[in-house]
Amino acid sequence: MKLIPALIAATLAGLGNTALAQDKVLNLYSARHYQTDEALYANFTKSSGIKINRIEGKEDELLERIKNEGSNSPADIFLTVDAARLAKAHELGLFAPLKSTTLEKRIPAHLRTDDWASFSTRARVIVYNKSKVQAADVQTYADLADPKLKGKFCSRSGSHPYNLSLMASVISHEGEAKAEQWARGLVANFARSPKGGDTDQIKAVAAGECAVAISNSYYVARLMRSTKPEDIKIVEQIGVVWPNQATTGTHINVSGGGILKNAPNKDAAIKFLEYLASDDAQRYFADGNNEWPVVASVKVDNPALSKLGKFSADKLPVNNLAMYQAKAQIIFDRAGFK
Ligand code: FE
């Protein structure tokens, strides 16, 4: 007889959870589209009962959409890659202040701002053709502007956030005058006009069209993990350098996110960001795109990243990358880095 009330209680509790699960939602505007992110979201729903409605799109389109939706926006979270784009969301006044002791404890201070946080890092590395340049000649970002690399350097556009953030770090460390000198040196060394993405630069290096290029680390790791014969050939031709190991450390960028000012589900939003900083989520989040977790104690098991090895990363606050975005574009324009 004692079993019956217990059974009823259990059933009611079950119903309660179901009703709650239907009520609790999170509207996630995401510019990440990686296969492994599916598991990341499913695990959050399983542990929190909060259903995720995902709106995916290109970074700039999502920002535009949130801006246009204004105070009626259903968006709770904006997730994207590159400090430049997160800075843009900040500048547009789209984010709410971010307060969480969990995030403060787990994520290093230089990878957070007042309204957004980073959840993974990627490095901007130097890729060179082993039969055309010596690794010793391309140890720093400054080396890329050395006249002895005339006609040998390839890059994507100077307007791309990855290059703008790198330039922002140079401005931050060296000042504007030196940064402009550097940009002019890079332009003088172009093997061709900037075009394509980072992978196109790696391919051009392997093909010998250029001797040296810069690329985000995950594009290199992706090629290293590929089983396609053409990719294996590319990887055989190239060497990878962690720039600035003796000085500032290699420039890193981030993928990250923040809670939107008009978020209708702020509690769910903070829970989600805290979840992204958990051990399991950190592994999924970073490894899905061959990146590194921001939580120092989390280890990833990624053959390409292991092979690339350890390096010392620039500790410049991500806020500085944000701060100098506009300046970076002005300097690249002035130097003719299109
Ligand atoms: Fe990318």
C-alpha span between 266 and 50 (Å, rounded): 12
Query: How many angstroms separate the alpha carbon of residue 9 from the centre of ligand 1?
Result: 51
Query: How many angstroms separate the alpha carbon of residue 126 from the centre of ligand 1?
Result: 15
The 10s digit of each residue's pLDDT in 123-135 is: 999 999 999 999 9
pLDDT computed for residue 37 by the predictor: 83
Domains of the chain, earliest start first: 3-120+253-300 (3.40.190.10), 123-251+313-335 (3.40.190.10)
22: pLDDT strictly greater than 80 = no
Classify residue 72 as exposed, middle or buried by CB count within 10 Å of its CB (0-12, 13-18, 19+): exposed
Segment 4-18 mean pLDDT: 41
Segment 259-271 mean pLDDT: 97
Query: How many angstroms separate the alpha carbon of residue 117 from the centre of ligand 1?
Result: 18
Query: How many angstroms separate the alpha carbon of residue 216 from the centre of ligand 1?
Result: 7
Residue with the two structure tokens 């002035």: 334
17: pLDDT strictly greater than 90 = no
190: pLDDT strictly greater than 50 = yes
Query: How many angstroms separate the alpha carbon of residue 160 from the centre of ligand 1?
Result: 10
7: pLDDT strictly greater than 70 = no
325: pLDDT strictly greater than 70 = yes
Query: How many angstroms separate the alpha carbon of residue 14 from the centre of ligand 1?
Result: 43
Query: How many angstroms separate the alpha carbon of residue 250 from the centre of ligand 1?
Result: 17
Query: How many angstroms separate the alpha carbon of residue 82 from the centre of ligand 1?
Result: 8
Instruction: Please state the pTM of the whole predicted model.
Output: 0.89
187: pLDDT strictly greater than 90 = yes
* Average pLDDT value over all residues in the chain: 92
Segment 166-188 mean pLDDT: 98
331: pLDDT strictly greater than 50 = yes
Question: How does DSSP classify residue 93?
Answer: T
Query: How many angstroms separate the alpha carbon of residue 76 from the centre of ligand 1?
Result: 24
Query: How many angstroms separate the alpha carbon of residue 101 from the centre of ligand 1?
Result: 30
154: pLDDT strictly greater than 50 = yes
pLDDT computed for residue 297 by the predictor: 95
pLDDT computed for residue 252 by the predictor: 97
Query: How many angstroms separate the alpha carbon of residue 26 from the centre of ligand 1?
Result: 26
170: pLDDT strictly greater than 50 = yes
Segment 306-319 mean pLDDT: 96
pLDDT computed for residue 12 by the predictor: 39
Query: How many angstroms separate the alpha carbon of residue 217 from the centre of ligand 1?
Result: 9
Query: How many angstroms separate the alpha carbon of residue 277 from the centre of ligand 1?
Result: 21
217: pLDDT strictly greater than 90 = yes
Query: For the chain, how are helix, strand and coil distributed in percent, rounded to 5?
Result: 50, 15, 30
C-alpha span between 49 and 43 (Å, rounded): 10
Query: How many angstroms separate the alpha carbon of residue 45 from the centre of ligand 1?
Result: 27
The 10s digit of each residue's pLDDT in 57-116 is: 998 999 999 999 999 999 999 999 989 899 999 999 999 999 999 999 999 999 999 999
The first and second tokens of residue 77, run together, are 């979270």
16: pLDDT strictly greater than 80 = no
C-alpha span between 2 and 295 (Å, rounded): 48
Q: How many alpha carbons fall within 13 Å on the CB side of residue 135?
A: 10
138: pLDDT strictly greater than 90 = yes
**Higher pLDDT among residues 209 and 8, named by residue:** 209
Query: How many angstroms separate the alpha carbon of residue 267 from the centre of ligand 1?
Result: 30
pLDDT computed for residue 288 by the predictor: 85
The first and second tokens of residue 159, run together, are 């307007």
Contact (Cβ atoms closer than 8 angstroms) between residue 66 and residue 88: no
Query: How many angstroms separate the alpha carbon of residue 161 from the centre of ligand 1?
Result: 10
